[in-house]
Structure 1
Amino acid sequence: MSTAPDTTEQDVRETQPTAAEGSYAKTDRTVPTRSKERAHYDRALVHSILDETYLCHMGFVRDGAPVVLPTLYARVGERLYVHGSTGSRPLRMAGQADPGLPVCLTVTHVDGLVLARSAFHHSINYRSAVVHGLAHQVTDPDEKRMALDALVDAVVQGRSADSRPANGKELAATAVLRIDLSEVSAKIRTGGPNDEPEDMGLPHWSGVVPVSRTYGTPIPSDDLDEAIELPAYLHGL
């Protein structure tokens, strides 16, 4: 299933709601059974969690059993595009399923290790997003090229314009899934440990160890022309 012909990134953004239009609707699947106060549905917040990284885990059911796969993704407006191979199971299943392959996609950021005085109250500070929806294989060539550029830029912003585009053979060997953002929620924990009053006097360190993602210095390939300088977008990392 594909969108209308000649789909562009601008078309996708203009036909979808914007973050300013409020929140995602709550559903039975997006309201957690525990710690409901940590759940959020604000579009801007959900988008910020999705946009900060590029690796997700996508779950689906195959032959009656659950399967969860790590893969790359990118958000364009109110859609997620997921990268895959034309021979992969979810891509084949999405192409065969009508009205689409039911999936659950998750993204998680670990922001801190929460160390309490008791082992029971140890936790982590995190931001996560869960997306439920139907995955469709992208078949329109223009939408597919746009999605692949978005996937490259999700990993390193600006890289798609600084690399050779995929040729026909490479496009045929690459598959993309599209998932509309409609049934979505975020869940966030912040703050310190929740120690019991009777444990406050115990001689154990208590607090938060911050966790962050960092990038090392880029290492040029052995055969890189010495005249080619490090691009500005890599300096920005």
Structure 2
Amino acid sequence: MLSTSKRTDIKKGAHKAVFEQEALYQIIDESLVAHVAIQEAQGPVVIPMLAWRVRDFVYIHGANNSRLLRKLRQEVQTCLTFTLFDGWVLARSAFNHSAHYRSAVVFGQFEVIEDNAEKDRVLNHFVEQIAPGRTQDIRLSNSKELVATTVLRMPLNEASVKISNKEVGDDTADLDLPVWAGFIPYRTVVGPLKATAGLHEAIPTPDYRAAYGKRWEN
């Protein structure tokens, strides 16, 4: 179960709150993009970053001179949000139109991964997450590249999850209106692979479908 705190207490739309840890994991794993908040002298800044999960930690990475990563290295409090948009809900009235979505908010502070071997391990984990088996084929990062890269991690021990997937919520008085009501589903489609220009014809096309399940398009 997700832990509860004052920061994770959902007040608006509390009926959409989900408390299973697995729901948090699924949203992070499918989203792979976190919007990360920092407080600068001129005000708050939110920056989208690639993010991935290894067990109970979420990771981000970038160049050592990144403004965001330099700030987060100072172990300041931050907030990460992940959102998956699943479709529009079309009601019989304008007021009751809505959306289906899955979202997660994670609070805490990042810590720096200093050891290059650990950096290499978690970065390769990310590569394997998006393209299973790829680390067996590619040139892995060398020590110079690892030194030039900042990798941060944050524990997933303070988070909230909301999932909106309900039926159309029309008022009883509107149910007899001669208006179509229902859903416009959205879905992310992955694939097929597209080779880069100049790739040697003898190189076989890999198969990464296992990472995407039903989202993979042949």
- 1:29 counterpart residue number: 7
Describe the SS at the equivalent of 1:66.
strand
- Structure 1 Cα separation of the partners of residues 57 and 117 of structure 2: 15
- Which residue does the alignment assign to 1:121? 96
Q: 1:188 aligns with which of 154, 159, 163?
A: 163
In the TM superposition, 1:68-147 aligns within 5 A as 68-95=46-73, 97=74, 100-147=75-122
1:3 aligns to what? Answer: none
Q: CA deviation at 1:202?
A: 2.1
- Within 2, Cα distance between the matches of 1:107 and 1:161? 30
Is the CA contact 1:58–1:71 (under 8 Å) kept in the aligned structure 2? yes
Gaps of 5+ in 2: none
Aligned ranges 1:200-219 → 2 under 5 Å: 200-219=175-194
How far does residue 64 in structure 1 lie from its aligned partner after superposition? 5.7
Residue 151 (structure 1) aligned to one of 123, 126, 130: 126
| Higher mean C-alpha displacement, 207-216 vs 157-166 | 157-166
Equivalent-residue separation in structure 2 for 1:161 and 1:133 (angstroms): 34
Confirm or deny: 8 A CA contact 1:101 1:135 kept in the other structure: yes
- Scaled by the length of structure 2, the TM-score of the pair is 0.90
Q: Number of aligned pairs?
A: 212
Query: Conserved in 2, the CA contact under 8 Å of 1:60 and 1:103?
Result: yes
Q: 2: distance between equivalents of 1:161 and 1:70? A: 29
Which has the larger displacement, 72-81 or 150-159? 150-159
Whether the aligned pair in 2 keeps the contact of 1:26 and 1:41 (CA below 8 Å) is no
Distance, in Å, in 1 between the alignment partners of 2:168 and 2:155 is: 37
Contact 2:89 2:97 in 1 (8 A): yes
- Which residue does 1:47 correspond to in 2? 25
Residues 134-163 of structure 1 deviation map (CA, whole Å, 9 limit, x = unaligned): 012221112211121122233333333332
Q: Partner residue of 1:232?
A: 207
CA distance in 1, matches of 2:184, 2:200: 42
Q: Structure 1 residue aligned with 2:39, among 28, 53, 61?
A: 61
Q: Are the aligned partners of 1:85 and 1:174 in contact in 2 as well (CA < 8 Å)?
A: yes
Read off the aligned partner of 1:47 and give its amino acid letter.
Answer: Y
Match of 1:175?
150
CA distance in structure 1 between the partners assigned to 2:132 and 2:89 by the alignment: 32
Counterpart among 202, 211, 222 of residue 197 in structure 2: 222
Instruction: Indicate conservation of the 8 Å contact 2:80/2:106, yes or no.
Output: yes
Deviation at 1:48, TM superposition (A): 1.6
Cα RMSD for the two superposed structures: 1.7
Structure 1 unaligned spans of 5+:
1-22
Identity of aligned residues (%): 38
Per-residue Cα deviation, 1:168-201 (whole angstroms, up to 9, x for no partner): 2222222111111110111101122101111122
- Alignment CA distance shift 1:157-1:113 (3 Å): farther
CA contact (8 A) 1:104 1:130 kept: yes
Aligned residue identity for 2:124: D
